[in-house]
Every structure is written in structure tokens, then in C-alpha cells.
């Protein structure tokens, strides 16, 4: 009798493991993330330390935007068996929650376990750029042994631009465009030119970006900005109007329409669009004061403050 009890106790864990693995295989074949999460959860209930089920459930949760849930699953995996992939994925989840310091720690941990993990190195540099640790980003990416793909070159350019090393920033942008002359790379260099007030060069890049992708909405807005500061107000109005057609809640583009109207002496259009922009910014919070500070989160206020403050004084009198 005792032999049978021992045999049953030995077989039951094997059956449980087999059932858990069967659920995992079924989940991997599913294309429904919610079904996947349910199946992985069932597998974990049968085998709480099934790291595959925990890891894959974290991926599925990340896929549906449950970043906190994903972090919990990856944390459990790391507790039992730290791996570069688990740290990397937990870092991605933290990054999605804008926990840049937490993401930085996880990407660094991933690289300690696997120094050749290029995606982790790239993500670490992105995070350092977000934290304005530009020198740190350059240290991570500017290595002779590292293949300079165009995303890496764009992050290097961003870091050099953050340090106001415009020569190396431009070189990195140019190298990125040589490797991948697509809409996004031209757009990125165009924004750089805007930041250093090279409006004509910026305009040329936004023209290229739009030619390569007619649906690159931000490129229309920035081409409008560059045209505006080049004194080409009709072109600016056309681009701002297109940007608004893409997104009617884009208050920066609506402000652009108003300011272009002002420069073209369309006073009625300027007033209507400026009032519309203020309504979008205020949303349901009608208690906000109607002054220059209302626009503190706009591109115009943050990047073109002096020009915008003068235009604000003029348009607010209408």
C-alpha cells in the first residue's frame, strides 16, 4: 500500500507539469492576447514557478498595455532566475510607464548579463537621452566594435545635439540618412535644423519627408513652422491646415493657422482659430487664465518663445 502512495505522489507533479506545458503550447498558438493571459494564468496556477508561463504572460500583458502586470511577472522570473531577456522586457514595461530611472537600471542589468545585447544597449541610450544624460548615451553607443545602424546613429545625433555639439550631431544625422533615407530620418534631421534656426535646410528636409510619406503628419506641421519663419505665410497656412485635417485637436497646428492668418491679414480667421486653440488647450478646465502661460505646453511657447510672445501680444488684442 505504501508503495502505491509513493508512486502516486511521484506521478502527480509530473502530470501537473505536463498539463502546464500543454497550456503554454496552446497559448503560444493563440493570437488573442487575453486568451493567452488566461491560459498562462491556468498554467501558473498548476505550477507557480513555471518561468516560461510567467515570462510569456508578461509579454502578453505588455501587448495589451498592462505594464504594471507585466512588471510583476518579470519580477517573479528575475527572482527565481535572473536573465538578460527578463530584465530587458521589464525595462521596456517601466519605460512605457515613463519610469526612466527604473528602465535604465533594468537595461543596465540586462547588459551586465549579456554585454552583446544590442537592443538593451540601444534602449539604455534612448533612456539616458530622455534623462538628459547625453554623455552617458554617447558612451554606450559610440564604440568602434558597435555596428552603427541608423537608429543608433539617430540616438547619437540626439545626444550630440543635447550637448550642443552641432558638428557631430549633423554628421550622425547625415550618416543615418545615407544608411536609411526614409521619411523619419529626414524628419529627424529637419527638427535638428529647426532647433538651430536653419529654417531653409529644415524646410528642405520636411519636403523630402513628406515626399517619401504623404501621411507623415508631424512633417506638415514642422514644414509649416519653417515656412512661417521664412516669411512664406501662404505655404505655412497650407501645411498647418493639413496638419489640422490629420488631427483637429492638434492645438499647435491650430495656433499655426491663426498666426499665419494674422500675417496674411485675415483677422477674422486669426481670431477664430486662436480662440479654437485656447478651447482645445483648456479642455474641460475653464478656470485656466487666458494669458501667455496658458500656452506653456505648446511647441510655440517652448521652442519659439520670443517670436510667439510678440505674436501673442498682437493676436490677443483682436
pLDDT one-digit tens code per residue, 7-16? 444 444 544 5
pLDDT 10s digits, 138-166: 999 988 778 889 999 999 999 999 999 99
**In this predicted structure, what is the pLDDT of residue 245?**
97
* pLDDT surpasses 70 at 250: yes
Q: How far apart are CA 89 and CA 33, in angstroms?
A: 17
Domain boundary pick from 57, 81, 105? 81
Q: Rounded CA gap, 48 and 52, in Å?
A: 11
Residue 5 lies in a domain: no
Residue 27, pLDDT > 90, answer: no
Q: Please identify, among 81, 96, 127, the residue that sits at the C-terminal boundary of a domain.
A: 81
**pLDDT 10s digits, 100-134:** 999 999 999 999 999 999 999 999 999 999 999 99
Range of the domain at 268: 216-318
Band (17; pLDDT cuts 50, 70, 90) = low
CA gap 161, 182 in Å, rounded: 21
Tell me the percentage of the chain whose pLDDT exceeds 90: 77
Specify the higher pLDDT residue, 136 or 29.
136
Residue 275: band (very low, low, confident or very high) from pLDDT cuts 50, 70, 90: very high
pLDDT reported for residue 87: 97
Could you read off the pLDDT of 61-105 as tens digits, one per residue? 999 999 999 999 999 999 999 999 999 999 999 999 999 999 999
Mean per-residue pLDDT of the chain:
92
Which CATH number fits the domain that encloses residue 298?
A: 1.25.40.10
Is the pLDDT at 294 greater than 80? The verdict is: yes
Burial class (CB in 10 A: 0-12, 13-18, 19+), 266: middle
Residue 239 covered by a domain = yes
Indicate whether 290 pLDDT > 90.
no
How much is the pLDDT for 6? 46
Residue of higher predicted confidence among 24 and 17? 24
* Set of cell numbers at residue 53: 508561463
240 CB burial (10 A radius; 0-12, 13-18, 19+): buried
Alpha helix stretches (DSSP H) within 146-296: 150-162, 166-179, 183-195, 199-212, 217-229, 233-246, 251-263, 267-282
Q: By CB neighbour count within 10 A (0-12 exposed, 13-18 middle, 19+ buried), where does 297 fall?
A: exposed
What grid cell was written down for 271? 481670431
Cα–Cα distance measured from residue 311 to residue 272, given in angstroms and rounded to the nearest whole number: 15
Q: Is 176 helix (H, G, I), strand (E, B) or coil?
A: helix
Q: pTM of this prediction?
A: 0.85
Number of domains into which the chain is organized: 2
Q: Is the pLDDT of residue 41 over 50?
A: yes
Residue 98 is assigned to a structural domain of this protein: no
pLDDT at 12: 44
| Average pLDDT score over residue span 259-273 | 96
Tell whether 176 is covered by a domain. no
Give a yes or no: residue 209 inside a domain.
Answer: no
Residue 1 in domain: no
Task: Tell me whether residue 47 is in a domain.
Answer: yes
Residue with cell string 519627408 = 209
> What pLDDT, on the 0 to 100 scale, is given for residue 5?
46
What integer is the mean pLDDT of 277-285?
90
Helix/strand/coil percentages in the chain, nearest 5:
80, 0, 20
List, in order, residues 6 or more apart from 31 with CB less than 8 Å away. Answer: none
169 within domain boundaries:
no
Rounded CA-CA distance 161/159 in Å is: 5
**Among residues 31, 51, 81, which one ends one of the domains?**
81
Amino acid at each position: 500500500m505504501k508503495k502505491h502512495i509513493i508512486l502516486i505522489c511521484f506521478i502527480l507533479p509530473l502530470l501537473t507539469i505536463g498539463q502546464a506545458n500543454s497550456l503554454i503550447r496552446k497559448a503560444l498558438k493563440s493570437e488573442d492576447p487575453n486568451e493567452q493571459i488566461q491560459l498562462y494564468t491556468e498554467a501558473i496556477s498548476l505550477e507557480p514557478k513555471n518561468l516560461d508561463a510567467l515570462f510569456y504572460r508578461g509579454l502578453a500583458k505588455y501587448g495589451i498595455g498592462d505594464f504594471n502586470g507585466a512588471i510583476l511577472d518579470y519580477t517573479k522570473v528575475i527572482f527565481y532566475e535572473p536573465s538578460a531577456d527578463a530584465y530587458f522586457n521589464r525595462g521596456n514595461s517601466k519605460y512605457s510607464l515613463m519610469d526612466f530611472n527604473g528602465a535604465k537600471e533594468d537595461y543596465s542589468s540586462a547588459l551586465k548579463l549579456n554585454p552583446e545585447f544590442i537592443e538593451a544597449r540601444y534602449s539604455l541610450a534612448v533612456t539616458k537621452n530622455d534623462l538628459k544624460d547625453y554623455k552617458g548615451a554617447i558612451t554606450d553607443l559610440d564604440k568602434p566594435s558597435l555596428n552603427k545602424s541608423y537608429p543608433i546613429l539617430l540616438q547619437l545625433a540626439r545626444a550630440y545635439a543635447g550637448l550642443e555639439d552641432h558638428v557631430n550631431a549633423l554628421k550622425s544625422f547625415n550618416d543615418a540618412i545615407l544608411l536609411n533615407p526614409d521619411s523619419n530620418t529626414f524628419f529627424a534631421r529637419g527638427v535638428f535644423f529647426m532647433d538651430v534656426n536653419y529654417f531653409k535646410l529644415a524646410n528642405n528636409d520636411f519636403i523630402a519627408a513628406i515626399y517619401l510619406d504623404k501621411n507623415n503628419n508631424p512633417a506638415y506641421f514642422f514644414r509649416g513652422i519653417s515656412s512661417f519663419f521664412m516669411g512664406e505665410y501662404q505655404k505655412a497656412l497650407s501645411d498647418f491646415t493639413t496638419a489640422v485635417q490629420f488631427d483637429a485637436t492638434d492645438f499647435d497646428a491650430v495656433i499655426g493657422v491663426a498666426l499665419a492668418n494674422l500675417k496674411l491679414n485675415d483677422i477674422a480667421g486669426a481670431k477664430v482659430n486662436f480662440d479654437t486653440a485656447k478651447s482645445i488647450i483648456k479642455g474641460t478646465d475653464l478656470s485656466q487664465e487666458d494669458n501667455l502661460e496658458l500656452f506653456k505646453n505648446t511647441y510655440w511657447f517652448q521652442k519659439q518663445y520670443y517670436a510667439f510672445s510678440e505674436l501673442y501680444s498682437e493676436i490677443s488684442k483682436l
